[in-house]
Structure 1
Amino acid sequence: MRIAYLHGGSIPSFFANGVHVMRMCDAFTDAGHEVTLYSLPGTYTDEDPYAYYGVRHRFPIRLVPAPDYTPDGYRARGERIRDLLTGDGAPDLIYARDPYSLTATADLAPFVYEVHQLRRDLPPGTERALLGAPRLARVVVITHRLALDLQEAYEDLGGLPIQVAPDCADPPDPHATVDTPALPGRPHAPRIGYVGHLYDGRGIDLILDLAGRLPGFDFHLVGGTAEDRARWEEPCPHPNVYFHGHRPPSALPGYFPLFDVVLAPHQPKVYTWGRLDEIGRWTSPMKLFEYMAHGRAIVASDLPVLREVLEDRVNCLLRPSDAPQAWADALVELVDDGSLRKALGEEARRQFLERYTWRRRADLVLAGLGTP
């Protein structure tokens, strides 16, 4: 199929939505589809986006700016994307995470609307019109909880064509050349890793608490904007905590194998950049699946949305998000018990390969909508 992917964010960027979008376009291309990505221009870096994200295929990227970052500006951008689509010839399918540009183009082809949260920031009626549009082919959500909440919010529209598809990761490429970073810290101290943003609700305060309880362990946090990093690092009193800052997605495979145990300490309320939205009820953290892809032993928060993927003492250890001593005990258990650590990591990787690769997700969300 000829697929137009409509993204409301920028490429490249340091936001997780850019990783998701580039990985999905890469997986669609790998499946034999002809994909063009329509995105806002990047503002974070001028690095080549294919190298920055480490994707395998060079699908076309058309950068379409908005006159300004207001609803009117986004609507004007949507009309520009409509002109581009009609000029290029209507695609076989529109796949979108951007309700503004999708609103402007929803009559051009069958479309899939992907949703990661209940949108409270849209002009009234925007999402309802999309969900009731005649050419809607499928609604893709990342968790079962979100599927239930979305259906309840629009129950008057009848049964929506919802497909649950969690976030995913790519299997490590055994033939890829990956730079292995030189981590600071003590050579024989257990290395506890966290990869992801440092926003409120990601459990960074819990990690710092653990560092104080376990002075013999080294804690490495990879990710975060310069501002967020400074907010946590400057007052941190623990010498066994190392903040590595943001790294390009293509560089992260070098970090995962260095960690003995990795952490997913999400809290019940998880905020996006600038506390613009609270998404804890629906989150499907990509880094969790990257941990699984690399066969790492995981300690994660025991939250309903994470239990959609995780099972205690099967593919991870689950602990209450507000019980730091329970987390400390779990870390000690995993560091002391190499067999358990290996078993959890291997089962996590097995489940990842079976259920949570980007290519499998691409096939799932397009199933029945056409063939390459």
Structure 2
Amino acid sequence: MKIIYVCADPGIPVFGCKGASIHVQETIRAFRSQGATVTLIAARLGGAPPADLTDLVVHQLPAVPKGDLATREKRLLALNADLQDLLFALAPYDFIYERYSLWSMGGMATAQQLGIPGILEVNAPLIEEQATHRDLIHTDLAQQVATQAFQGATALIAVSAGVKAYLAQWAQSDRLFVMPNGVNPKRFPQNLRRQTTTDQFTIGFVGSLKPWHGLDILIDGLMQLHQNVPEARLLIVGDGPQRAVLEEAIARRHLTSQVQWTGAVDPEAVSYWLGQMDVAVAPYPASETFYFSPLKVMEYMAAGLPVVASAIGQLTDIIDHGVTGILCPPGEPQALAQALEQLWRSPEQRYKLGQAARTFVLERHTWEHIAEDILAIAQGAAKLTLLP
């Protein structure tokens, strides 16, 4: 089976360190592990591919320079013509798999014209996200792109029930499938965790330091925890736009010596840093529109770490409270501190939670399982297109 994978989002360096980058790479790996041949079309590469993807055929879309936002949006929209020209030139292939981006509709349109399945993966309501957290000028054009892409797709892969509910305004339920993020078991061996004789209690966070990750809540929780557990320290793996603000908040609370920053790390290095943690956290704030499928939580669990996370959105489906992790009310530092202190006091509970979490995620949420399901959808859709 020959697959064209499209990522036309200039904000995603497909060979970079972001969660979205890892998602792209792991999906491609999983398709290839199922015997498929994959060709990648991307707007942004972000450096050289990992060693196991150096033989991947890659086509890069023309770069759109930064500048006036209104002009940039229209230029990104115009890239659909370049995308479609390339897709027609690469034919024949079995189906197009595209990660939905704000200005791209060419992949699904081309699949329709070629009479093959077009599968669109949707990770977020990007129009609302862009308007809320960044800037968006041509909202009407973005809406038109979404309508054409969502209605033109043979199947829509939503990463969470929240995203599926969002997509229901464009598609019937028989075209909507929920597939949360997964893990690659090869990156998380059984004996990943460090062996230490120190009393240090390391709380870990992995992520890109965005406002919606709840790190301000984590810092407040650490301050409260430190009063009862002075050996507690925080390990932050990642970098992002909130770092300077967070460093100031940490300094005001006199916690600078208790916090270690790694900066951005390659995906291959994440497992090492997870092995340095005693507990991992996902302290999301309260939100009425939580639609994420947090990759970090899946990877925490695969590493055999006990997880403390906010009881919100998909996390309540992934984490069985008291069995595969601990859930806290979102946005409450005191509850977070209490949960962490509980785990500090009980190494046995930490071990049991971590092992149960690892078993759960490796049995149900691997990228290979996801790829199998996607290929089954594509094959089923292909059979329907061949019917007279």
TM-score over 0.5 for the pair: yes
Pick one of 273, 291, 300 that aligns with 1:291: 300
Change (3 A) 1:318 1:159: closer
Sort the Cα spacing of 1:248 and 1:241 in 2 relative to 1 into closer, same or farther, 3 A. Answer: same
Match of 2:165 in 1: 148
Match of 2:247 in 1: 233
**Shift in alpha-carbon separation, 1:124–1:369, aligned structure 2, 3 A:** closer
Is the aligned partner of 1:41 residue 2:44?
yes
* Moved segments of 4+, more than 4 Å: 173-176
Residue-by-residue CA offset, 1:70-123 (whole Å, 9 max, x unaligned) = 343223322222222222223210000143332552323320011112242553
Aligned to 1:28: 31
Deviation readout 1:305-350 (Å, 9 max, x if unpaired): 3112112101100011222222111111112112211111111111
Residue 13 to residue 110, structure 1, CA distance change in 2 (3 Å): same
> Following TM superposition, by how much is the alpha carbon of 1:150 offset from its aligned partner in structure 2, in angstroms?
1.7
Matches of 1:209 and 1:168, distance apart in 2: 30
Letter in 2 for 1:337: S
Check whether the contact 1:115–1:142 (CA below 8 A) recurs between aligned residues.
Answer: yes
Aligned ranges for residues 151-300 of structure 1 at < 5 Å? 151=168, 153-154=169-170, 158-173=172-187, 187-215=198-226, 216=230, 217-225=232-240, 227-237=241-251, 238=255, 239-269=257-287, 280-300=289-309
- Cα distance in 2 between the residues matched to 1:123 and 1:19: 26
Helix, strand or coil at the partner of 2:3:
strand
CA 1:104–1:145 in structure 2 vs 1: closer, same or farther (change >3 Å)?
A: closer
Residues 264-311 of structure 1: CA distance to partner in whole angstroms, max 9, x if unpaired? Answer: 101134xxxxxxxxx952101101100011110000001133112112
**8 Å CA contact retained: 2:185, 2:362:** yes
- TM-score scaled by length of structure 2: 0.81
Cα–Cα, structure 1 residues 119 and 218, in superposed 2: closer, same or farther, change >3 Å?
closer
Shift in Å, 1:204: 0.6
Tell me which residue corresponds to 2:75: 73
SS in 2 for 1:124: helix
SS in 2 for 1:214: helix
Report the counterpart of residue 56 of structure 2 in structure 1: 59
Q: Percent identity?
A: 27
2:203 partner SS: strand
Q: What is the DSSP-based 3-state SS (H/G/I as helix, E as strand, rest coil) of the residue aligned with 1:41?
A: coil
Q: Which residue of 2 aligns with 1:272?
A: none
Q: Given the alignment, which residue of 98, 105, 108 partners 1:100?
A: 105
Deviation for aligned residue 1:193? 0.5
What is aligned with 1:19? 22
AA in 2 matched with 1:8: A
Equivalent position SS for 2:296: helix
> Any unmatched runs of 5+ in structure 1?
270-278
Secondary structure of the residue aligned to 2:379 is coil
Residue of structure 1 aligned with 2:142, choices 105, 116, 123 = 123
User: C-alpha offsets along residues 110-137 of structure 1, whole Å, 9 cap, x if unaligned?
Assistant: 200111122425533222223333xx32
Structure 2: where are the runs of 5+ without partners?
67-71, 128-138, 381-388
SS in 1 for 2:210: coil
CA distance in 2, matches of 1:359, 1:57: 20
C-alpha contact 1:165 1:365 (8 A) present in aligned 2 = no
Deviation at 1:163, TM superposition (A): 0.9
- Relative distance call for 1:148 and 1:210 in structure 2 (3 A) is same
Distance in 1 between the 2:174 and 2:250 partners?
A: 47
| SS of 1:292 mapped into structure 2 | helix
Look up the match of 1:308. 317
Letter in 1 for 2:3: I
- The partner residue of 1:366 within 360, 375, 379 is 375
**CA offset digits 1:219-254 (Å, max 9, x no partner):** 1111122x4322211342212122221111111111
CA gap 1:250/1:280 in 2 versus in 1, 3 angstroms:
farther
Cα distance in structure 2, aligned partners of 1:228 and 1:345: 29
Indicate if the aligned counterparts of 2:283 and 2:331 stay in contact, CA closer than 8 A.
no
Counterpart amino acid of residue 144 in structure 1: A
- Which residue in the other structure is 2:131 paired with? none
Q: Distance in 2 between matches of 1:18 and 1:289?
A: 15
**Number of residues paired by the alignment?**
345
